[in-house]
Structure 1
Amino acid sequence: MSKQISYSSLNNELKSSQIGVNASELHGLLTGIIAGGIQDKSWQVLLNDMLNNGQSLAGELSTSIEHVYEQIKEQLADDNFEFQLLLRDEGLFEQIDDMVDWINHFLLGLGLAQPQLMKVKGDVGEAIYDLRQIIQLGYDRDDDQEELAFAFEEILEYVRMTVILCYDEFTDHYSSKVLH
């Protein structure tokens, strides 16, 4: 698998290019588009519309974003379930905030890829509903850090599995694999 992109390097590239999202938000948006079933180059048009008023992103940032896109695609297609959300490495409160930003943008990307998302039923519909509830949860900086960290890890794993569930639901796996 290709080298993992770091939150800080991607975030710095986004800031220096004056793109109004952080690394978690971008990763969530791209993941939502991919999990929503978009497997062709149309993801670039959606991304440019959302981030840069329809204009193509320039130079190194464009290359980095393509790398992130390919990495997400690889991880979601991998049977080992190695997909991870891109969050800051330190600070529990910062990671929780990043996760909420990530989920918001994941839902946005998923909705762009699946315009009828609100009509989805069953396990996937319930999981998407749960994501909407998760982003409304709050925390208090005075809360027990250990309990909060445990809850965060549990929710993070649920979000990760929900992403994989959505990917399995909306992606045509047979078009990219040879059947024997």
Structure 2
Amino acid sequence: MSAPDLPAAAALDAEIRALALSVTSWELHGGLCGWLAGGGASNREWLAKVMADPQLRAVAAGSALDDMRLASAAQLADRSFEFELLLPDADASLSERSGALFDWCRGFLGGFGLAAGAAPSLSEDSREALADIAKLAAAQPQDDGDEEDEEALVELEEFVRVAALLLHGDCVLAAQHRQRFN
């Protein structure tokens, strides 16, 4: 059985606007994934945790934000590596797509730090992956590019996807395995 699909960005954007959040859907998905990868709880109170705003209420069951949580948690835990980043479609401009990836990385770093704490127990590969995500989070989108730039962006997206899975493996799956053997 495959993990559920992410909701459409337009549905997420509508809920983000309704809540008056100053974040893009890309950055919020990155924040949620960072939160989950760092060991944060998958519950309807996630938004207040990820946004570091205790005034935010739990997301409504069945809402696009809750669907995003359920799909992301299932995808991260799925052993078939079907995890996907919420990013613009391939027909969007290079600038829009690269900017969204960098937003996603910024969100991921924030959510991961909130859940995992200042000094999580990470493998060397995970430490390097986290440092690379931090570099991407600081990058600026490119206005335009050629086919090589398009290919490089696809490779970066795949790297970030695998890095998120690796970090989730270190912080969540490894801890679950240790508990089973104790």
Question: Does the TM-score normalized on the shorter chain lie above 0.5?
Answer: yes
Matches within 5 A, 1:78-157: 78-89=78-89, 90-117=92-119, 120=122, 122-138=124-140, 140-142=142-144, 144-157=145-158
Instruction: Please give the per-residue CA displacement for 1:93-141, whole angstroms capped at 9, x wherever unaligned.
Output: 1111011010001010000011124774511111111111223334542
Q: Which amino acid aligns with 1:173?
A: Q
- Per mean C-alpha deviation after superposition, the further-off stretch among 156-165 and 89-98 is 89-98
Task: Mark the CA change 1:14 to 1:84 in structure 2 (over 3 Å): closer, same or farther.
Answer: same
Tell whether 2:65 aligns with 1:65. Answer: yes
Tell me the C-alpha RMSD between the 2 structures: 2.8
Distance 2:18 2:32 in 1: 20
Whole-Å Cα distance in 2 between the matches of residues 12 and 140 of structure 1?
27
Structure 1 8/119 Cα, relative in aligned 2: closer, same or farther at 3 Å? same
TM-score between the two structures when normalised by the length of structure 2: 0.82
1:111 and 1:14, CA in 2 relative to 1: closer, same or farther beyond 3 A? same
Give, in whole Å, the separation in 1 of the partners of 2:41 and 2:49.
Answer: 17
**Is the Cα contact below 8 Å between 1:28 and 1:106 reproduced in 2?**
yes
1:14 is paired with a residue whose SS is: helix
AA aligned opposite 1:80: S
**Are the structure 2 counterparts of residues 145 and 112 from structure 1 closer, same or farther at C-alpha, using a change threshold of 3 Å?**
same
Counterpart CA distance in 2 for 1:31 and 1:59 is: 16
What letter corresponds to residue 151 of structure 1 in structure 2? A
Unaligned runs of 5+ in 1: none
Q: Determine whether 1:173 maps to 2:167.
A: no
Residues 7 and 23, structure 1, Cα contact 8 Å, conserved in 2: yes
Q: State the one-letter code of the partner of 2:9.
A: Y
CA distance in 1, matches of 2:139, 2:53: 31
Partner AA of 2:20 in structure 1 = Q
Gaps of 5+ in 2: none
In the alignment, what sits opposite 1:37?
A: 39
